[in-house]
Each structure stands twice: as C-alpha cells, then as structure tokens.
C-alpha cells in the first residue's frame, strides 16, 4: 500500500513551554481524514492516536529547534518519513552516537558528557541511558535453554529476534545497538565523551570527540510593539 503523506493545509503551529517542564505543540489541519506525525529535530517524535487530535506533548529540556507536522494515512502513521520530508537526520546541531551494548557487563548506565562549547566539562550529563531495559531478561524463541526458566525468559543480555542490530554481535547475544542523540543549542565546538557507570557508582570516561554545532536562532518567547514614530515610520519592538 502506497503511503499518503503531505505537509499541505497544516498551519497555526505553536510550541508552548510548560512551567513543569516539556512542551505542548498545537496545530491546525484541514486533513480531516488523515492522522498526523510530529517531527522534532529531524526525527519522528510522536503520532496521533485519533483523526481529531491536534496536540502533542514533548518532554524536552531544551528548545525544540525544528518542528514539522505531517499528515499521513493510518497504516503509515508509525513510519519515519524524515528522508521524504527533506530531513536526513544530519542536522548540524544534533550529535548522535551509536554503540553495541556489551554482554555480561557490570555497567549499569551510559552517559554523554559535554562542555556546552565552553571548554570545561559539566558535571551533569547531557543525557543518560539505562543499559538494563524492561526486556533485558527476555530471549527470542529458541535462544534460551529449553526447560529452564519461564517461557522466553531467563536470558542474561540477549535482546531477542528483531530487537537488536542484526550482525552487530554474536547471534542472539550483545546485538543490541544503543543510540544517544542530543541537540546542542550552543553554537561552537563542543567537547563530548561517553561515560560508563557501574552499579556501585564507579565510572570511566572514553576519549574526547569534538563536534561543531550550528543551531538555528532560538525561539523568541515574546515580542511586543512598544512605540511607533509617525514622522520617521519607526516601529520599536521589545523582545523578551
């Protein structure tokens, strides 16, 4: 089935920052027979559950630098069409790194550390990722020792068929590909490094990588016309 995808007849897009954190994204659309997708920073972030939904909720700590709303048929609402929308995911302010999750590891979490383009690393990570997801103890069919443990359970680190990066590791083991992605709002050269953290809180840092971020202008929270001079035809604006 060919997908129906369009960004036409969609307007009144607003991103409202919430006091409790995160954002509410609202929009208007005349595509009443289609579902809608939300793309944030060149990635599919969410999709509507009903035809009437015109609002999304984002849990982002930083300003969303790029927002696109697309209308799509129901059967393809979970499909990422970034490439068709001219968003190849290589936005010049988004750093992304992938690595294979180690098997039988004592590592509990992995963190991405950065210096916010200041030259001095921050103690707080840009993001963290839990290396023990909910399906950590689930094996794919036939990959566990038959008769030991519950059905499909009691494996140590195998993600199971279709859940990992095929060919990235031993068959059924350590083939889970982890991806960390973060938007860097400060323009300039960022120093970044991965930190692995054990269950007892000990950590080790990897080598430093330099990434040059060129973000678009930040969102203007408020702009107000304060005065107008008829003689000079000069409008004075206050930006907050």
pLDDT digits (tens, 9 = 90+) for 122-175: 999 999 888 765 545 444 444 444 444 444 433 444 444 444 555 544 444 444
Predicted TM-score (pTM) of the model is 0.50
Closest CA to 183 of 51, 66, 33: 66
Residues 6 or more apart in contact with residue 157 via CB below 8 angstroms: 101, 103, 104, 105, 136, 173, 174, 176
Residue 198 CB coordination number (10 Å): 13
Percent helix, strand, coil in the chain, to 5, is 0, 40, 60
- Give me 159's structure tokens: 């993600």
Confidence of residue 178 (pLDDT cuts 50, 70, 90): confident
Please tell me the predicted confidence (pLDDT) of residue 2: 75
Calpha distance 107→177 (Å, rounded): 15
Asked whether 63 and 219 are in contact (CB, 8 A), the reply is: yes
The structure tokens 């793309």 sit at 39
- Please report which helix (H) or strand (E) contains residue 42, including its range: none
Task: Output the six-digit token pair for 210.
Answer: 């330099």
User: Hey, what domains does the chain have and what are their CATH numbers?
Assistant: 5-76 (2.60.40), 94-213 (2.60.40)
Q: What would the pLDDT profile of 61-105 be if each residue is shown by its tens digit?
A: 556 667 889 999 999 999 988 878 765 556 788 888 877 665 545
Residue 51 has pLDDT above 50, yes or no: yes
Q: What angle do CA 9, 13, 17 make, to 5 degrees?
A: 165
């Amino acid at each position: 089935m060919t997908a129906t995808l369009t960004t036409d007849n969609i307007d009144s897009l607003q991103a409202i920052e919430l006091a409790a954190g995160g954002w509410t994204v609202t929009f208007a659309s005349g595509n009443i027979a289609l579902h809608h997708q939300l793309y944030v920073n060149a990635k599919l972030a969410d999709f509507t559950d009903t035809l009437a939904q015109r609002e999304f909720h984002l849990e982002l700590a930083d300003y969303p630098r790029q927002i696109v709303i697309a209308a799509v048929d129901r059967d393809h609402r979970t499909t990422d069409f970034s490439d068709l929308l001219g968003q190849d995911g290589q936005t010049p302010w988004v750093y992304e790194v992938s690595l294979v999750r180690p098997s039988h590891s004592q590592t509990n979490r992995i963190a991405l550390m950065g210096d916010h383009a200041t030259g001095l690393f921050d103690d707080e990570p840009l993001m963290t990722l839990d290396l023990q997801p909910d399906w950590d103890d689930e094996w794919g069919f036939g990959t566990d020792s038959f008769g030991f443990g519950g059905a499909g359970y009691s494996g140590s680190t195998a993600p199971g068929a279709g859940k990992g990066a095929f060919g990235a590791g031993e068959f059924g083991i350590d083939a889970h590909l982890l991806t960390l992605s973060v938007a860097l709002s400060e323009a300039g050269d960022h120093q970044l490094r991965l930190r692995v953290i054990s269950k007892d809180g000990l950590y080790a840092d990897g080598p430093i990588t330099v990434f040059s971020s060129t973000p678009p202008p930040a969102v203007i929270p408020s702009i107000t016309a304060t005065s107008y001079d008829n003689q000079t035809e000069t409008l004075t604006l206050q930006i907050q």
